[in-house]
Amino acid sequence: MTTPVVSARNLVHRFGPVQAVNDVSFDIAPGETLGLVGESGSGKSTIGLLVTRLLSPTAGTILFEGAPITQLSLAALRPLRARLQIVFQDPWGALNPRMTIGRLLEEPLALHTGLTGAARQAEALRLAVRVRLPAASLSRYPHELSGGQLQRVSIARAIANQPRLIVLDEPTSSLDLSVRAGILQLLDELQRETGVAMLFISHDLETVRLVSHRVIVLYLGRVVEQAPSARLFETPAHPYTQTLLSAHLPPDPTARLARHAVVGEIPSPVNLPPGCFFAGRCPLVLPACRAAAPDPVMLAEGHSAACLRVADGSNILPPVEEHA
């Protein structure tokens, strides 16, 4: 059996009294893209920071290529940074505005390789060409490039040292549709060439469906459902997943919108209720849902949902409301 690039087990993270991540477990295999979806505040970005150890978990364990990294010091993590990379949503904020693009591409090489100055310059040029940046851009500063070009710079920096995992935190959300398509095509090519594992975090459900092999759905930091991408989008099992997918806007602006209605407020992450966190808003709630957190129920190979209704098949929400 192939060793996962990353194995997270029972991850918990708190920001003071705020419970951001609650008992999350998953694996990512070499060459696999795991999508992570959920509302704002569901813990997606926090999980990305945890698996790259830019944050330390409050509890739980993280294995990177089979070795534990949960308790490693910053000094011990430094040699691993080349193989654990992250691309952020905002390339303007992620790149030093006082450095040229060439220097930005050389920086990870200077930190993690023994390449000389001339060799680093040659490699920076190769990286720029690989992500389809013009050679002339190497002498420019970030403010002289477009958002799409800057995201290509961020990706080039991320792949400079042949990483085994890249976390992509909303990497296309600030880009125009045509630019977004080019970035996604580039990521697909890089994964096919190198076998790098990816954790793809996004609000854009259509993009997640397109790029991910498997998808995890989060609600208030807890996994409510996970499945192969095609199966999750075709047969969502958890009432929250069904609600989330029904909120997706179709490409056709004239299409009728189908919406599952939910009531109530999202619980406070400072004072989370016992039981299923979605119980207070779920149209199918049972008394037992409020008593204890439901265990995941396997529906098919790789498809599980943490819902008490799954056992008797009563987990499907009633027909949706349609709006013009």
Domain residue extents for the chain: 6-212, 236-323
174-189 residue pLDDT tens: 777 778 888 899 999 9
Residues 6 or more apart in contact with residue 287 via CB below 8 angstroms: none
Taking 50 as the pLDDT cut, the residues of the chain under it are none
Report the pLDDT value the prediction gives residue 321, as an integer from 0 to 100: 64
77-94 residue pLDDT tens: 999 999 999 999 888 888
- Is the Cβ–Cβ distance between 59 and 11 less than 8 Å? yes
Report the pLDDT value the prediction gives residue 242, as an integer from 0 to 100: 94
Q: Which tokens sit at 21?
A: 């991540």
Report the pLDDT value the prediction gives residue 1, as an integer from 0 to 100: 66
CATH architecture of 6-212: 3-Layer(aba) Sandwich (3.40)
